[in-house]
Amino acid sequence: MTPLDLDHPVWEQVYMVAPLTIVGTKEPDGTYDLAPKHLAIPMSWSEHYGFVCTESHATYVNAKREGCFTVSFPRPDQIVLTSLAAAPRCEDDHKYALDAIPTVPATRVDGVLLDHAYLHFECELDRIIDGFGVNSLIVGRIVAASAAEDSLRDADCDAQEMIAHSPMLAYLHPGRFAEIHQTNAFPYHVGFKR
């Protein structure tokens, strides 16, 4: 093993697999912001979902002010749309690239979701935990969720066949992505319990 230089972020020295999501929030002017997030994860076995953000980002400010956010899981063929969501704001503080991203309205919170994503969450803000350096953990309680029919797990369908037919997008930080279309069953030990 090679020791890593802790004077530089560990995450910049190796590749790590992460989900790639698009978080939606409402802006003060009533429009909606979308921003890609990869430091995102279920926060419990129940209905909590969280992501890392920083106080200087509109996503943090909007979620805190509005008390809600949305999460969309893009498909691999939506990688360019996901990149557009990362576009910087112009001098007038508007992200014009968002105009090219197709969205659908949320049903339970004030927000929008990426159209044709394979999974949608609508979250009410549960808590914000500051203090991870300049970063914060934003946690929401999922109040509505929906999945594309071709992404639903089915006990009567082979999991590999379903994933091959409906591949998933993964982010390999820093700066790469992958299409997951082949998987294997995990070899759980006899007696394993969650």
pTM, whole model, 2 decimals? 0.95
Domains of the chain by residue range: 14-149
For 141, what's the count of Cα atoms within 13 Å in the CB-facing half-sphere? 6
In terms of CATH architecture, what is 14-149? Roll (2.30)
93 — pLDDT class (breaks 50, 70, 90): confident
Q: Which residues pair with 16 in a beta bridge?
A: 173
192 — pLDDT class (breaks 50, 70, 90): confident
Residue 93 vs residue 38, higher pLDDT: 38
Alpha helices in 124-181 (DSSP H): 159-165
β-sheet with 16-19: strand ranges across: 16-19, 168-173, 176-180
β-sheet with 119-132: strand ranges across: 32-37, 21-26, 68-73, 119-132, 135-147, 48-54, 40-42
pLDDT at 61: 98
Structural tokens at position 46: 């129940």
Summary mean pLDDT of the chain:
95
Question: What mean pLDDT comes out for the span 78-83?
Answer: 97
Structural tokens at position 132: 């991870």
